[in-house]
Amino acid sequence: MNSPALGALIFAVLAAPSIFAEEIVVIVSPAAKPISKEQISDLYLGRGGSLTPIDQTAGSAIYVQFYKQATGRDVAQVKAIWSRILFTGRGLPPKQLPDSAAVKQAIAANPNAVGYIEKSAVDASVKVVLPLD
């Protein structure tokens, strides 16, 4: 393989979103009630609900996998939904935090919040209400 082709291949591999292989779980504060997958989907797609959704950074591997597994939609579809909601003034998208540690801290501090993190990051400060697969 010549060096321009090799360079293009390396660039393509590095530029592609990483595949997030770890299991994602939906978490709430330990005092919160259970929540269904349908309720999670509704919350994260702006269809109301009593909990405040907390998001991870848009475009991150966990963000992409979460929306695919929890809502059945890809990132472009999610952005389109939120664009319509914002344009019509019907709501604001979930607050984005930089990583699972920040999400876990926010959820532990707010009994009305819901978020998602890697299963390996779960500890006693939060409660898993829904594993995603």
Which pLDDT does position 133 carry in this prediction? Answer: 78
Structure letter (DSSP) for residue 71: H
Mean pLDDT, residues 71-90 taken together: 96
- 55 contacts 95 by C-beta, under 8 angstroms: yes
Pick the CATH number of 21-132 from 1.10.600.10, 3.40.190.10, 3.30.499.10, 3.40.50.1820: 3.40.190.10
Domain boundaries, the chain: 21-132
pTM reported for the whole predicted model: 0.83
Query: Is the pLDDT assigned to residue 15 strictly greater than 60?
Result: no
Dist. CA 4–CA 113, nearest whole Å: 49
Give the gyration radius of the chain's Cα atoms: 17
Dist. CA 101–CA 16, nearest whole Å: 24
Query: Is the pLDDT assigned to residue 19 strictly greater than 60?
Result: no
Q: What is the mean pLDDT of the chain?
A: 87
Query: Is the pLDDT assigned to residue 81 strictly greater than 70?
Result: yes
Q: Average the pLDDT over each of 2-16, 88-102, 109-123 and give the range with the smallest value.
A: 2-16
